[in-house]
Structure 1
Amino acid sequence: MKGSNLGELEELILLTVGILYPDAYGVAVMDEVVKNTGRQLNISAVHAVLTRLEEKGFVRSSMSDPTTARGGRRKRIFTLTAAGSKALEEANEVRNQLFNRIPKVAFQFQWP
């Protein structure tokens, strides 16, 4: 397994693969990320991240059955692995621990 750290886009895409289960394929992942974040992505970037996540062991892929809606073509479907789920849980835990350490006074902004 490659490095286990998650970048921001990797984390967003990994979360989205989980959300879209069992229908997480490239275009659906891209559309869901754009819908939920407003962030513009291209399909090449999404596929590159999905490939990287698979190399890290955080997702696995399989080919769907051909569909008439796609002219007989198949989709590559992605699912979370146990390692991917653990990576998301750890990232969430670290983020929450750090957020909870911010003193409340740091959120009291004074405008000139």
Structure 2
Amino acid sequence: MKGTNIGEFEELVLLTIASQIDQAYSVLICDEIERVTSRKVKLGVVHSVLNRLEDKDLIVSRLGEATRARGGRRKRFFEVSQAGKAALLKAKEQRDQLWSTIPEVVFDGIK
């Protein structure tokens, strides 16, 4: 397995996959990240991140059944692996630790 450190966009993709249980596929991942973050997400970028996460053993994929609606093509579904879950928890713990060190006064006046 390659390194388990994850970048911001990798984390967003992993979180989105985790939130969809076993129904996450690339177009849904793009749509969900766009919905939550209000930023434009390119499908090609998501595919690159999915490949990278799979290379790092942080996700696993499986092919769904071929459907008539997709012209006989099959969707590739993604799930977060045990290593991916551990990487997400590590990232959350690190962020929580950093957040806990910020004095409340820093955010005074912000709504």
Instruction: Report the TM-score range of the alignment, normalised by the length of the smaller protein.
Output: over 0.9
Structure 2 stretches of 5 or more lacking a match?
none
Match of residue 66 from structure 2: 66
**Rg: which structure is higher?**
1
Match of residue 104 from structure 2: 104
Distance 1:21 1:55 in 2: 20
Distance 2:97 2:80 in 1: 24
* Shift in Å, 1:69: 1.4
* Shift in Å, 1:22: 1.4
Distance 1:97 1:23 in 2: 31
Structure 1 stretches of 5 or more lacking a match?
none
User: For residues 42-75 of structure 1, what are the alpha-carbon distances to aligned partners after superposition, in whole Å with 9 as ceiling and x for unaligned?
Assistant: 1100000000000011000111110111111101
Percent identical among aligned pairs is 47
- Report whether the alignment pairs 1:29 with 2:6: no
* Shift in Å, 1:107: 2.3
3-state SS in 1 of match to 2:65: coil
* Shift in Å, 1:95: 0.2
Two-structure CA RMSD over aligned residues (Å): 1.0
User: For residues 64-100 of structure 1, what are the alpha-carbon distances to aligned partners after superposition, in whole Å with 9 as ceiling and x for unaligned?
Assistant: 1101111111011100100000110110011001101
Distance 2:104 2:18 in 1: 33
Distance 1:18 1:50 in 2: 13
3-state SS in 1 of match to 2:79: strand
* Shift in Å, 1:103: 1.5
Amino acid at match of 1:19: S
Distance 1:35 1:61 in 2: 23
Distance 2:57 2:14 in 1: 11
Give the number of the structure whose residues are more often strand, by fraction.
2
Count of residue pairs brought into register by the alignment = 109
Match of residue 80 from structure 1: 80
Amino acid at match of 1:63: L
Match of residue 10 from structure 1: 10
Amino acid at match of 1:94: Q
